Each structure stands twice: as structure tokens, then as C-alpha cells.
Structure 1
Amino acid sequence: MRFRTKIQLGVIAHEVAHALGFWHEQSRPDRDLWVQVQWDNIDRDSKGQFLKEQPSDVDNSGVPYDYGSIMHYRSKAFAKLDDLFTIGTFIVDYQRTIGQRDQLSFNDIRLMNDIYCRQVCPKQLPCQRGGYTDPRHCERCRCPDGFTGAVCEQVMPGYGAECGGRIEVGQSWTEISSPNYPGEFREGQECSWLLVAPVGQRVQLQFFGEFEMYCKVRHSLCMDYVEVRNSTDFANTGMRYCCYGTPTSPVHSATNDLLVLFRSFYRGGRGFQAKAKAINPSRNGQWSEWGDWTECSATCGGCGLKRRSRKCFNEINNTKINNDENGQNNNGNEDDELICLGVDTETQVCAREPCPGLCSKPISEEGECQGLLSLLKGIRCTKTKNNTRRMSPNLLFWICIE
């Protein structure tokens, strides 16, 4: 049998992940904390594709929502008109991150290994930068994109070009750019920069000059990109910038370091240029009181999440500094570029009580869920003497992802 249609490898990986028990990322019970579904823009017969799954059927194993997951729909999936968005990211600069079909994300593989290979290695290594002990090679860590080394202690060297590395930034601007800028970079080149400010300070990154990275405008999706990871966990996929037009808003790190990834998978182009420096958190910045917790995304089963946030204010004139989870602010005032120290959002696991019905049990410290997941893991239900149900492991297979 011969097939004439060329299928993208990432599409195959997406379907294999379904066979391993993975739902679409935007079907997670906690998705409303991260994206907004535009129901009015969805084709009438496709709205069922955007329903959330029951918490009892989902095991996230503590892995956060992943905009870069291969299981995430793109921005305009199932739109009734080509130019309508059906999914909007609450942090705007993540909009072109969602929907990629190039490869499994780091957190995709991390979740697969946690579910199917949790007990393979006899001990856990002290992995850095969000890495974890590799179940196929227990003597080393599996590292997020941009890092390498036995415990992810090194920045990944450039591929196809002499570029990247660890750069310490100070009060003066330090410039980085894609290979051969302002000339064109070549397809297949990769660079990784770890920008580090002194302890207690933050990194500010600002793009400037001409900007060109290949994208699919129709789908609002980056193909080649420069990615910025500015959160407290470099395992999380960052904000991806592509297409034409230089991003204008500065990016601030949540800690004293920031990761920049340049990846060219498809074609060459002009690329990007950016500058970075260390900034002091605002001495006048003052956090408001924490807001109320959001409603838990689940009612039972231990897989729910709730979130609360606070705002950064200028202590002198009580004006709000518009910094969100992005670490960005757009007030246009130079003084407002200094931001409060600390995070403005907290997330907690909630609804730890067992769900009623078959195969329910109190949530464990590992955070396992109940329901359909028990079938995927090969877990069977048995009756104890007091006629209550408990879970007993009967693992049918191991699948360790390379």
C-alpha cells in the first residue's frame, strides 16, 4: 500500500500521544486560567472539540499548562471564518506559541515519562533548570531546550553557527542577534543565550532593528522563531516571536536570568536583533494584597487548580504598573519599567477529595487522579473487607520516551 500524502512528523506524534492517553492541552480542566475559548467564532459543528475533560480523567502529574504542547490547538482551529481566532492566550505574546506540530515539547515528554516511567530509576538526580532524571539513562538528566550537561548545568552550544552561551548583563546594554545579522541566517541554525543579571536584579530584553522570522500568517503560528523564557521554570515553553515587524514591548525576567532561544527549522531570513541589561526592581513598587482564589477547576480527584493574583503599584503616586505573568509592562513611562520583586500569580492544587464511584480513592502525595486514567495505567479495582474500593497497581507496560 502506498500513500501519496506527506504527513508531518509532528502530526503523527500528536496522534500517538492520543493513543497513550493524552487529551488536547486546551481540554485540561484548568485551561480557563490560561486561554479563553471564543465560542462565537467556532464552526457550529465543531464546538464539541473545545469541551474540557473531567478532572477524574486527567493526570497532569504537576506539569503546568503548556502553550507549546504538541497537543494544543492552534489559534484559529475550527474557525467558521479563516480570520477568526477560536483560542486566545491571556498573555498575548504566547499567541503564536500555541498549535505547533514540529515536535513533542519538553513538558509533553516529561509528562509521558512521569506517567509511564516514574519508578524506572532507583534515585533522582539533582537536575537543574527544570530538568529531570532520564528514565532511559538514569545516570544523567533530561534537560529543557537550551541546556545540556549531566545535571543541565550548561547552556547548549550553537548549532550550525558560533552563537549563544551564558552572558552576564549589567547596567549597560548588551546586544545579541541571529547568525549573520543583518544578513540572512540559514535554515537549521540554532542559538541559545542565558542572560544573567546580578542577584537581586532582573533582566530586561528589548528587540530593535529589522525583524523577520518565517511564520504561517493564516494560522498565526511560528515556524521559525526566537523564543523568550522569562518565568521561574525554564522547562515551560516561552513566548515565541516571528513573522514581520519588530516586537515593541520590553520583556522582563521573573528572576535574575532569562533564556533566549533562536530556532530555524524551515528557511532562512533576516532574523532578529535584541539588547539586554540588568535593572533594579522598583524601590517605589509595592504589591497590593493578594486577590481571592479563583474557583477550583475541579470538584474532586486531586487534579484541580486555583489561582490568585496581586498588582504592582507605585508607592508614591499609587499608580498601577502594568506587569503581568509576562513580567511586561506597557504604560509607556520609563519609570514604570522598574517592576516589583516577586511573582504576581500563585497557583495551588485543590479538590483533593476522592471522586465518588468506581475506582475512587483519596489523593496520594504524588497527585494521581482517578477515572479513565486507571485504565490507561493498567490499574484495576478490588474490594477490601469493608467493601470500599481501593486501587491496586497492575502496570501492563513501560513506555520511556527518548
Structure 2
Amino acid sequence: MVLGSASILISAYLLLFLAASSLKFLIFAVLNRQKLMRLYSNTVKGVVNAIEEIFYDQQYADKVIERTLKSNKKWGARDRGFIAESVYEMVRWWRLINEVSPSEDLYHLFGTYWLLQGHHLPPWEEFEGVHVNAVKRKYEDLTSRAALQSIPDWLDEMGAELLGEEWDDEINALNEQAQVVLRANTLKTTREALMNRLQEDGVETYAPKGYPDALVLAKRQNIFRNPAFKEGLYEIQDASSQLVAQALGVEPGMRVIDACAGAGGKSLHLATLMGDKGRVLSMDIEGWKLKNTKLRARRNGISIIETRTIEDNKTIKRLKASADRLLLDVPCSGLGVLRRNPDTKWKLSPESIANVQLIQQDILQNYCSMVKPGGIMVYATCSILPTENQRQVEKFLESEKGQDFTFLDDQKVLAHESGFDGFYIARLERK
């Protein structure tokens, strides 16, 4: 579960249009040739207005793009793709764009982004003063890793301190395109059968090793309109995220609590692994996040999920020693999913990360009572920082309540090693 905007699922439509962009791609574009691609004033204006809302009005990127796309019904699929793609990539490379742009004017910033992508700028009045040679010179003069990777200085320093030599590869990977990954709903199909079904519809996928239910799209397309999706044959879930439910080792008939369930994606996976036999209690302190869980469960053919809002500590106390398995997918910085939520890095601060660490430890201390003796508790984040991950588990185990638990194992998933999102998953058993 991600802190702030990252805790909200990016809309399915927008996910299709996250652009394939990386530092290497930008270097190639700037230092080599310019591509001719026509711009249209109304869609460029849509991008500029969205960027203004995101950075000057401090709005969340996914919500801004959704509103922008709904604002003009005449825009077709290509227009919508251009807007979503351009906004997300400008957000991703915001610092770099500002470093090499001739000014902070939003049209100048868009023009600079467009040049960095290797495109030709039309002779519009709005782009006057934006020249490819000047952008190229400024780019070539940059030496700061933080500027080149388009992240705040403090984040670069924190990443280097906590991840050491791995930081270079990791931040580069987090600036690359996030793949679209499906999770086969094994209550209704198998991964192989789903792959064949999608292939018949012209959707090519491949099955990554080590992820038994995952299929990766070979090419982005609107899979949400596919009949197989409407039939509940698959969900959209990153491969790393799929490891979380698997780590709980659930079995049919168990009582499982997903205590930070959000929109219920991992609850659905848990219920599927249980063969829809037993009980999954999906809980969250923000009840509105749970609203779609029942609808998603119905589409998936799942009946064992119950949702419950955590009103106060009494809600937790009533469930003392009731769970065979407990999942704590806690709020976190979301640094492991920057490829999907690039605006996260501009909204975070050292202070916000320190504050979320307090929340993480509080959840561990207060929610652990729900596990039965002999039961398994999984602590998970979509962060890559040890201070949110193994150090939190170590701190818990050293505490009074942690003395009731035994550390079993953990998984530290880095994007540059896995090719998927960054995650951390620890398993603890109650004595």
C-alpha cells in the first residue's frame, strides 16, 4: 500500500498509455536525430493545463489526467494516448526538463520535453526561444546524477546511502516503462488457457518464470475491453505484487485478514489461492477504498470476501487471535513503484518518509494481535528502502510484542533485478 496518491490505483485506461521512456532513450533522442510528428494545439493545451494542475495546484497525476481526458469528448484514442503519455513522461522527467529548458514557461517546458523525445517543434509562437542546439548543450553540461535521473537531491542521497552500489541501477530501472502484467484468475481458468484465449483475440503475452499466475503483455493495448476481462478471467497486477499473497501460504478453509486492503487486489488473490473456501476479511481505515472490492469479487466469482472499515482500536481487539494468516501491506513511500506513479517522487520528502515509518511500526505493534498462535503474519511494502523494510521488521522483533514472533524469511525485490516493481515481503510466525 502506497502513501498518498500512490495508494490509489491508476485507472485502467491510463495504465495503457504510460510511455516507454528511459534515460538512455532521452540521450539517444537529444544527441541524434529529430523525428517529425505533428502536434495539435488543443491536445498540447490539454497537456500544459494538466501539468499546471499537477505541479502548481498540487493535484495527483492520475486524477488530473482522468479529468483532462473526460473534458473533451471529441478526442479520439490517439489524442487521449498522446495526452496521457506526454503528461506522465513530463512528470517523470520534470527536473531534467526544467534543467535544460530556456524558461519555466509551461509551453517552453513542453517544447523542451518534445525535443528531448527526439521530435521536431513546429514554428508556433508558444515555442519561440526553444531551440534544439541550446537544449542539447545544456543537457551535455549536466553532471549531477539527481538531475540526469530527474529526482530530488535528497532522494538521490538517501538512495545512495541505503542501497549503495545498487542505487545507480535501481533508479535507472525505476525511470523505465512499467510492463502491463495480468494475473490469471485460477478459479475460472489456467494461465495457459488464458494465454491461448488472449492470443485468439490478438493479444500476445508471455509467462515470466517464477510467477505462476502472471502473464506480461508483449504490446500495450486496451485489454480492459476484452471479453475475457469482463468475464473475470484476469486482473491487472504487477508480478512483484503477486508474490505477496503467495507468501502467506494460504489453504482452503482458512481465516485470513488483509488488514490494509485498499482496493482489495491482494484480497482477491488470496481468495483465489484458497479456492474460494474459507474467509477473507478485507479491512482498511478508509472505508471508501473498499467499495469496489465486492464488485471486483463478484466479477472474479469470489464469495468469501467480507469488507470491514477499521473504526478504532476496538475493531482490532475484537479480532484478537482470530486469523490463520494476517497480511500487513502497510502504507509506504511507494518508491518501488515510481515507474507507475512518477509524481510520487515530487510529493515525498524525508519528513514524509520518516512519518510513514512511524505508521508502519504502529501497525505492526497493534495489528499483530490478530494472528493465532502458530499463524503466519506477512509484512509487505512497495518500497525499496531498508528503513521501511527489514529494519522495521528487526525493530518489531526486538520489541515486547515482537517477542511472540519468529522471523521465517524475507524477499527483497528490486526493480533492476526482477524487471518488475520494487517490493519487500517478510514472513513471521506467531509462537
* TM-score normalised by structure 2 residue count: 0.24
More helix by share: 2
| More strand as a share of residues | 1
